[in-house]
């Protein structure tokens, strides 16, 4: 019967013996970082080299297009900055409007008390004074 | 004084006793190395994997040992998973190397040079099997694990283990027909 013969053959495979000092080697490995096998490392290096070479080739091939895109983006950014600078120059050149006739009376972190002289004029003098409004930037 | 049992050594490992690990290695190193040479077909790699298996046992402090029931099954599970990960990684690298460089050889395992003709043929046929068929065959037929234990080691169902062993045997029988009939 093939099955039995195959089983016999399998059981006849040689038994391996660990080299002398193997247990010491394992114990020495306790304090070392886990390392990959030499063959795995070699294959990893070959693969990494291949990928790096391919990436370099792809970069060289696509480089012109990427450089063009970068220059175009820079041109747009510079044009935008120039436009903003022109708007700021024009705004600075315009005469400033007259400040409103306000007198700051005081305040705290919750409210500022301001006297609007235009409303005082409209009221015909200092009396009667409108009640103070509370709140941020409140106006008398 | 009687030698410590496997369970006592595992207790020592959990407690961080390096001497317990040393004793465990001495006790199981040959069996584990033999299994890994048969699984990978490479002595040097098998030695590395044997060392990695014991280091993994130490670093995991034996986690998973209780559920396997006995230490031998637990060690074989750790070793099998490490080896299969390594073999899959190597297969991936070989495939990529073939794809990118147009090179690469078949299995990446040197043909056996020791033993008689029949043994060399058997070793070559064994290494010609895919690892997913070779591992369950070795675990059950040679290492004496039950199909349930092998299934736990491989992370598959017991039925899958049985069918893989059947297919592995069929392929080996076909490869070794002249030696089996002679």
- Is the predicted pLDDT of residue B64 greater than 80, yes or no? no
Arithmetic mean of pLDDT, B140-146: 92
Closest CA to B83 of B59, B106, B52: B52
Chain A neighbors of B101, CB-CB under 8 A: 50
Residue-range definition of the domain harbouring residue A110: 98-140
| Selected residue with higher pLDDT from B105 and A14 | A14
The Cα–Cα gap between A131 and A82 comes to 49
Q: Are residues A63 and A84 in the same domain?
A: yes
Domain termination site, one of B109, B132, B149: B109
- What SS3 state is found at B62? coil
Confidence grade of residue B137 (pLDDT, cut at 50, 70, 90): very high
Q: Are residues B5 and B64 in the same domain?
A: yes
Arithmetic mean of pLDDT, B130-140: 94
Q: Are residues B37 and B71 in the same domain?
A: yes
Q: Give Cα separations from B155 to A26, A79, B30, B63, B160 (angstroms).
A: 27, 62, 25, 16, 10
A37-48 confidence digits (pLDDT tens)? 555 566 666 767
List residues of chain A with CB under 8 Å from any CB of chain B: 2-3, 5-7, 9-19, 22-27, 29-30, 34, 37-40, 43-44, 46-47, 50, 54
Report B:120-159 residues touching A (Cβ under 8 A).
122-123, 137, 141-142
Arithmetic mean of pLDDT, A5-32: 89
- Is the predicted pLDDT of residue B100 greater than 50, yes or no? yes
Residue B52: per-residue pLDDT: 95
Tokens of A15: 């038994």
Q: Are residues B68 and B143 in the same domain?
A: no
- Is the predicted pLDDT of residue A117 greater than 90, yes or no? no
Domain termination site, one of B78, B109, B140: B109
Q: Are residues A77 and A123 in the same domain?
A: no
Considering chain B, what percentage of its residues have pLDDT values greater than 90?
A: 58
Domain termination site, one of B88, B109, B130: B109
Q: Chain A within 8 Å of B52 (Cβ-Cβ)?
A: yes
Please answer yes or no on whether B47 and A22 come within 8 Å at the CB atom.
yes
Q: Are residues B170 and B91 in the same domain?
A: no
Q: Chain A within 8 Å of B170 (Cβ-Cβ)?
A: no
- Is the predicted pLDDT of residue A112 greater than 80, yes or no? no
DSSP string computed for B85-134: HHHHHHHHHHHHHHHHHS---SSS-PPP-SS-HHHHHHHHHHHHS-HHHH
HEC string of chain A? Answer: CHHHHHHHHHHCCCCCCCCCCHHHHHHHHHHCCCCCCHHHHHHHHHHHHHHHHHHHHHHHHHHHHHHHHHHHHHHHHHHHHHHHHHHHHHHHHCCCCCCCCEEEEEECCCCEEEEEHHHHHHHCCCCCCCCCCCCCCCEC
Instruction: Return the number of CB contacts < 8 Å for A and B.
Output: 107
How many structural domains is chain B composed of? 2
Write the Ramachandran bin of B3: left for phi over 0, alpha for psi from -120 to 50, otherwise beta.
Answer: beta
Residue-range definition of the domain harbouring residue B50: 1-109
Closest CA to A12 of B116, B172, B131: B116
The Cα–Cα gap between B182 and B164 comes to 26
Residue A16 lies in a domain: no
Chain A neighbors of B179, CB-CB under 8 A: 9
Say which range, A74-78, B78-82, B113-117, B175-179, has the weakest mean pLDDT: B113-117
A82-97 confidence digits (pLDDT tens)? 888 888 888 788 776 6
Residue A85 lies in a domain: yes
Confidence grade of residue B83 (pLDDT, cut at 50, 70, 90): very high
* H or E segment and range at residue B67: helix B65-68
Q: Are residues B105 and B115 in the same domain?
A: no
Chain A neighbors of B29, CB-CB under 8 A: 18, 22-23
Residue A103 lies in a domain: yes
Q: What are residue A113's DSSP bridge partners? A: A106
Q: Are residues B83 and B137 in the same domain?
A: no
Tell me, what CATH number does B127's domain have? 1.10.10.10
Q: Can the peptide bond before residue A128 be classed as cis, meaning omega within 30 degrees of 0?
A: yes
User: ipTM more than 0.90?
Assistant: no
Confidence grade of residue A115 (pLDDT, cut at 50, 70, 90): confident
- Is the predicted pLDDT of residue A12 greater than 70, yes or no? yes
CA torsion through residues A97, A102, A103, A105, sign:
negative
Confidence grade of residue B57 (pLDDT, cut at 50, 70, 90): very high
Please answer yes or no on whether B114 and A46 come within 8 Å at the CB atom.
no
| Selected residue with higher pLDDT from A35 and B87 | B87
A46-66 confidence digits (pLDDT tens)? 767 777 777 776 666 665 567
Please give the model's pTM, rounded to 2 decimal places.
Answer: 0.62
The Cα–Cα gap between A3 and B180 comes to 9
Q: Are residues B167 and B138 in the same domain?
A: yes
Arithmetic mean of pLDDT, B113-122: 77
Residue A138: per-residue pLDDT: 47
Find the residue in B nearest to A24 (Cα). Answer: B22
Q: Are residues A43 and A88 in the same domain?
A: yes
Q: Are residues A51 and A88 in the same domain?
A: yes
Q: Are residues A91 and A105 in the same domain?
A: no
Q: Are residues B131 and B172 in the same domain?
A: yes
- Is the predicted pLDDT of residue A113 greater than 70, yes or no? yes
């Amino acid at each position: 019967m093939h099955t039995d013969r195959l089983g016999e053959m399998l059981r006849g495979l040689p038994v391996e013996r660990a080299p002398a000092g193997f247990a010491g080697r394992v114990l020495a490995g306790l304090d070392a970082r886990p390392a990959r096998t030499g063959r795995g490392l070699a294959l990893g290096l070959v693969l990494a080299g291949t990928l790096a070479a391919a990436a370099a080739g792809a970069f060289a091939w696509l480089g012109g297009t990427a450089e063009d895109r970068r220059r175009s983006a820079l041109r747009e950014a510079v044009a935008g900055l120039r436009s903003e600078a022109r708007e700021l120059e024009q705004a600075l050149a315009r005469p400033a409007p007259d400040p409103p006739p306000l007198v700051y009376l005081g305040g705290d972190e919750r409210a500022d008390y301001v006297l609007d002289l235009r409303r005082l004029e409209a009221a015909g003098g200092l009396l009667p004074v409108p009640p103070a409004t509370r709140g941020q930037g409140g106006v008398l | 004084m009687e030698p410590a049992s496997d369970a006592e050594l595992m207790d020592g490992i959990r407690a961080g006793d390096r001497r317990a690990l040393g004793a465990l290695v001495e006790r199981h190193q040959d069996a584990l190395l033999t299994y890994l040479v048969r699984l990978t077909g490479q002595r040097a790699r098998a030695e590395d994997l044997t060392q990695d298996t014991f280091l993994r046992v130490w670093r995991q402090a034996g986690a998973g040992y209780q559920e396997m029931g006995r230490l031998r099954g637990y060690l074989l599970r750790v070793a099998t998973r490490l080896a299969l990960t390594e073999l899959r990684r190597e297969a991936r690298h070989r495939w990529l190397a073939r794809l990118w460089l147009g090179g690469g050889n078949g299995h990446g395992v040197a043909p056996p040079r020791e033993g008689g003709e029949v043994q060399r043929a058997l070793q070559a046929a064994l290494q010609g099997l895919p690892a997913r068929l070779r591992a369950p065959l070795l675990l059950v037929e040679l290492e004496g694990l039950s199909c349930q234990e092998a299934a736990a080691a491989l992370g598959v169902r017991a039925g899958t283990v049985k069918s893989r062993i059947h297919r592995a045997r069929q392929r080996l029988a076909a490869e070794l027909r002249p030696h089996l009939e002679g």
